[in-house]
Amino acid sequence: MAKGGKDWKARAEKLKQKVEKLKALLAAAPAPTPVKTKAQKPVSPLAPARFPVLPAIAGAEFSAVGTGIKYQNRKDVMLVRLAPGTAMAGAFTRSSTRSGCVRDCQAKLALKAGAEGAAIIVNSGNSNAFTGRVGEEAVAAVTGAVAAALGMPSTRVFSSSTGVIGEPLPYEKITAKVPDLVAGLDGDAIEMAAHAIMTTDTFPKGAAATLQGEGGPIHIAGIAKGSGMIAPDMATMLVYIFTDAKISAKVLQKLVSRHVEATFNSITVDSDTSTSDTLLVAATGQSPAAEVKGDVAKAFETALKGVMMNLAHQVIRDGEGATKFVEVRVTGAVSDADAHRVALSIANSPLVKTAIAGEDPNWGRIVAAIGKSGAEADRDRLSIRFGDILVAEKGWRNPDYREEDGAAYMRQPELVIHVDMGLGRAKRSVWTCDLTSRYIEINADYRS
């Protein structure tokens, strides 16, 4: 062979070896990490398949616009106009540092209302909380602008703000868009409104019910936002429920107060109570059905509670970083308060929540959470179940319990942890989610 030929052959063989070596190295290298962008926010694995079809509520119109307060290229303010005669009720955070909006709503709900109608305006991206007198001026400016545009007293305009705490709200960005908001009002735009109030939420939340009244149907439709800072105290995050029922503000308030405890006050993502938690319920009275009373009142109460519970559960399904939806069910307690205390202690325990994230049936951590709750407990009468699996009873592991059964149960996306205290007849459930690294990621760079 020619000299040149020999050289090329040797070189080719060396290169061939190099190719094999590089191929092997490449095969051993981990897959490249996908580039993270803020836009690619994955939807919670626990989200419902789709936003439900919500019935139109006669007398309630919705609109939403983008103002760029914090988020760009999305709608961030919603407006709801409610027809004259609408009855309003509500529930709010009990935080001592609650926002100006919350204080303003509370003051306005306490006033005797005429038949002027009402409005609700909500922005996301800034909570206007702990912003002092300037914050109160912002509330007055926003609700005043809406009142003027809709021709109603500002005492009938309710507002909420959600997002970062402590930053001044650039309210002129909202007031400048009030004409656009009013122009866009539409009875079928509730889903758009549900989108506009989202912050770290990965999906918009809606729920509805329809019942038969005397003389026609009564509709209920609600929307909510909430994902982190979820440990409600009289209500959770932002929830707006609309109905065409004919019902007085007084009766409506009674129903809301009665059921807020077992619904919005029984969910927790991270034990952190927001400064802005607000639930507003508006009844326009425009259903063809007669005034809610008797058997219809009972059906209405059940339907309203159902919508409240559904929305509360959706907030947990969108818990920051959640991969598991968990009911902590406590029975056999000496009092409701004790049952609630034990359920919350388990639901808020970081060690229980990380065990659930790891699909580890670490029931010892449940025992520790019961112990620290302060509720009356007797080790030898306690029992613990994962779903129907009896894990422990009489102060001791159930001898028939097999760890692999517990482990298999924990791999499901929806779990029931059932503790029976064996002491009394009181019971309460609390709903929560697991605590994952994603929660840390979301919250360690929320503002950056």
Asked if 38 is part of the footprint of its own copies (rule: CB under 8 A), the reply reads no
Rounded to the nearest 10 degrees, how much is the dihedral formed by the CA atoms of 344, 346, 349, 354?
-130
* Binding segment toward its own copies, per CB under 8 A, in 152-160, 190-198, 289-297, 364-372: 364-372
Neighbours of 192 (CB within 10 A): 17
H/E segment holding residue 42: none
Tokens representing 206 are 């809606």
Q: Is residue 95 a contact residue for its own copies (CB under 8 A)?
A: yes
CB of 1 to its own copies, least distance (A): 6
Give CA–CA dist 160/90, Å, rounded: 12
**Of 195, 249, 199, whose CA–CA distance to 63 is shortest?**
195
Q: Which one among 189, 223, 229, 316 touches its own copies, defined by CB under 8 A?
A: 229
Q: How far is the CB of 260 from its own copies (least distance, A)?
A: 17
- Of 165, 249, 419, 430, the one binding its own copies (CB under 8 A) is 165
Which tokens is 203 given? 């999906």
The answer to whether 382 and 331 have CB atoms below 8 angstroms apart is no
Residues annotated catalytic, as ranges: 236
Report d(CA 384, CA 316) in Å as an integer.
23
Binding mask 64-93 vs its own copies (x if CB under 8 A, - otherwise)?
-----------------------------x
339-358 footprint of its own copies as x/- string (CB under 8 A):
---------xxxx--xx-xx
Number of residues in contact with its own copies, rule: CB under 8 A?
92
Contact between 172 and its own copies (CB under 8 A)? no
Start-to-end Cα distance in the chain:
67
Is 35 among the residues that bind its own copies (CB under 8 A)?
Answer: no
User: How far is residue 299 CA from its own chain's centroid?
Assistant: 25
Site for its own copies in 398-437 (CB under 8 A): 435-437
Q: Tell me the C-alpha distance between 190 and 213, whole Å.
A: 23
State the DSSP string of 407-441.
HHHHTSSEEEEEEE-SS-SEEEEEEEE---HHHHH
Residue 101 is a binding residue for its own copies (CB under 8 A): no
**Candidate list 295, 400, 404, 445; residue touching its own copies; CB under 8 A:** 445
Q: For its own copies, which residue of 41, 97, 179, 402 counts as binding (CB under 8 A)?
A: 97
Q: Shortest Cβ distance from residue 198 to its own copies (Å)?
A: 18
State which of positions 183-202 bind its own copies (CB under 8 A): none
Our CB check for its own copies shows the closer of 175 and 398 to be 398
Question: Binding mask 121-140 vs its own copies (x if CB under 8 A, - otherwise)?
Answer: ------x-xxxxxx------
Please identify, using beta-carbon distances, which residue of 59 and 361 lies nearer to its own copies.
Answer: 361
In the region spanning residues 375 to 394, those forming contacts with its own copies, defined by CB under 8 A, are 375-377, 379-380, 382, 392, 394
Which residues ranging from 145 to 164 are in contact with its own copies (CB under 8 A)?
Answer: 164
User: Considering the rule CB under 8 A, would residue 116 count as an interface residue with its own copies?
Assistant: no
Tell me how far CA of residue 105 lies from CA of 89, 143, 319, 366, in angstroms: 10, 11, 26, 39
Q: Which is nearer to its own copies, 4 or 151 (CB)?
A: 4
- CA-CA-CA-CA torsion for 159, 162, 166, 171, nearest 10 degrees? -50
CB of 334 to its own copies, least distance (A): 12
Helix ranges (H only) for 322-436 are: 336-347, 350-357, 363-372, 403-410
Using alpha carbons only, what angle is made at residue 349 by residues 207 and 233, rounded to the nearest 5 degrees? 45
Q: How far is the CB of 371 from its own copies (least distance, A)?
A: 3
Minimum CB–partner distance for residue 111 and its own copies (Å): 23
Q: Does 8 bind its own copies (CB under 8 A)?
A: yes
**Chosen residue from 48, 51, 362, 387 binding its own copies by CB under 8 A:** 362
The residues in 265-304 that bind its own copies, with binding defined as CB under 8 A, are 270-275
* Nearest to 302, CA basis, from 236, 369, 245: 245
Instruction: State the nearest-atom distance from the C-beta of 357 to its own copies, in Å.
Output: 5
Rama region for 305: left / alpha / beta (φ>0; ψ in -120 to 50; rest):
alpha
CB nearer to its own copies: pick between 364 and 387: 364
Q: Which helix (H) or strand (E) holds 163?
A: strand 157-164
Nearer to its own copies, 271 or 331 (CB): 271
